[in-house]
Amino acid sequence: MVELPQDVVEFSALEEYLNRLQAGERPDREKLLRDHPQLESALRCLEALDALVPVEGSEGEPEGSDSHSLFSHLPRDFAHFELEEEIGRGGMGVVYKARQKDLDRTVAVKMILDSYLASEEHVRRFHEEARAAARVEHSNIVHIHEVGQWNDQHYFVMEYIEGTSLAEKLCHSTIEPEQAAMLVQRVARAVEHLHQQGIIHRDLKPSNILIDKDGEPHVTDFGLAKLFQKGGQSTATGIIVGTPSYMAPEQAAGKSELLGPRCDVYSLGAILYELLTGRPPFQEDRPLDTVMKVLSGEPPLPRSLNRKVPRALELICLKCLAKVPDERYESAAALAEELGRYLKGEPLEVRPPSLVRRIVRWSRREPALATRLGVLGIFFCVQWTNFFVNQNSADFAAFHWKALTIIGIWTASAIVFQRCMKSPQWWIPTCFVWGTLDSLILFFLLWIADGVASPLVVCYPLLLVASGLWMRVRFVWFMGALSLVSYLVHVVHFYGWRQKLHAGFDMDLDRHVIFVVMLFGVAWGVANLVRRIRVLNTYYDRAG
Per residue in 134-172, pLDDT (tens digit) is: 777 888 998 888 888 887 777 888 889 888 889 999 988
Instruction: Determine the pLDDT at residue 481.
Output: 94
> Where in the sequence of the chain do the CATH 3.30.200.20 domains occur?
76-159
d(CA 147, CA 110): 10
> Where in the sequence of the chain do the CATH 1.10.510.10 domains occur?
163-360
Helix (H) or strand (E) holding 157: strand 153-159
Task: Tell me, letter by letter, the H, E, C secondary structure of 453-520.
Answer: HCHHHHHHHHHHHHHHHHCCHHHHHHHHHHHHHHHHHHHHHHHHHCHHHCCCCCCCCHHHHHHHHHHH
User: Where is average pLDDT lowest: 87-101, 293-307, 319-333?
Assistant: 87-101
Q: Which of 527, 539, 534 is nearest to 465 (CA)?
A: 527
User: Where is average pLDDT lowest: 276-280, 387-391, 527-531?
Assistant: 387-391
d(CA 265, CA 408): 43
pLDDT digits (tens, 9 = 90+) for 464-522: 988 887 888 999 999 999 999 999 999 998 888 888 877 777 777 888 899 999 999 99
Known catalytic residues are 203
Residue 421 has pLDDT above 80, yes or no: no
Give the DSSP per-residue string, 234-290.
-S--S---S-GGG--HHHHTT-GGG-SHHHHHHHHHHHHHHHHHSS-S---SSHHHH
What separation in angstroms does the CA of 373 have from each of 305, 362, 443?
25, 12, 18
Task: Tell me, letter by letter, the H, E, C secondary structure of 75-95.
Answer: CEEECCEEEEEEEEECCCEEE
Instruction: Determine the pLDDT at residue 1.
Output: 41
Rg (CA), the chain: 31
% of the chain beyond a pLDDT of 70: 78
Confidence of residue 537 (pLDDT cuts 50, 70, 90): low
Average model confidence (pLDDT) for the chain? 80
Instruction: Determine the pLDDT at residue 146.
Output: 83
Q: What angle do CA 206, 208, 214 make, to 5 degrees?
A: 80
Name 265's Cβ contacts closer than 8 Å, sequence gap at least 6.
320, 328, 329, 331, 332, 335
Q: Which of 331, 323, 325, 324 is nearest to 349 (CA)?
A: 331
Task: Tell me, letter by letter, the H, E, C secondary structure of 103-128.
Answer: CCEEEEEEEECCHHHCCHHHHHHHHH
Instruction: Determine the pLDDT at residue 199.
Output: 84
Helix (H) or strand (E) holding 376: helix 367-389
* Amino acid (one-letter) located at 159: E
pLDDT: which is higher, 514 or 3: 514
Residue 541 has pLDDT above 60, yes or no: no
Per-residue pLDDT, averaged over 97-106, amounts to 91
Confidence of residue 28 (pLDDT cuts 50, 70, 90): confident
Top mean-pLDDT range of 47-51, 100-104, 269-273, 419-423: 269-273
d(CA 239, CA 262): 18
pLDDT: which is higher, 292 or 480: 480
Could you tell me which CATH number the domain at 76-159 has? 3.30.200.20
Confidence of residue 49 (pLDDT cuts 50, 70, 90): very low
Residue 330 has pLDDT above 90, yes or no: yes
d(CA 198, CA 483): 57
CB contact at 8 A, 131 and 118: no
Name 207's Cβ contacts closer than 8 Å, sequence gap at least 6.
165, 166, 167, 221
pLDDT: which is higher, 332 or 400: 332
User: Where is average pLDDT lowest: 76-85, 221-230, 284-293, 437-446?
Assistant: 221-230
Q: What angle do CA 317, 323, 325 make, to 5 degrees?
A: 90
Q: Which of 11, 93, 7 is nearest to 46 (CA)?
A: 11
Per-residue pLDDT, averaged over 80-94, amounts to 80
d(CA 151, CA 115): 10
Confidence of residue 328 (pLDDT cuts 50, 70, 90): very high
Confidence of residue 231 (pLDDT cuts 50, 70, 90): very low
d(CA 190, CA 105): 25
163-360 placed in CATH 3.90.960.10: no
d(CA 178, CA 182): 6
Residue 98 has pLDDT above 50, yes or no: yes
User: Where is average pLDDT lowest: 328-332, 349-353, 529-533?
Assistant: 529-533
Residue 180 has pLDDT above 80, yes or no: yes
d(CA 426, CA 239): 36
Helix (H) or strand (E) holding 227: strand 226-227
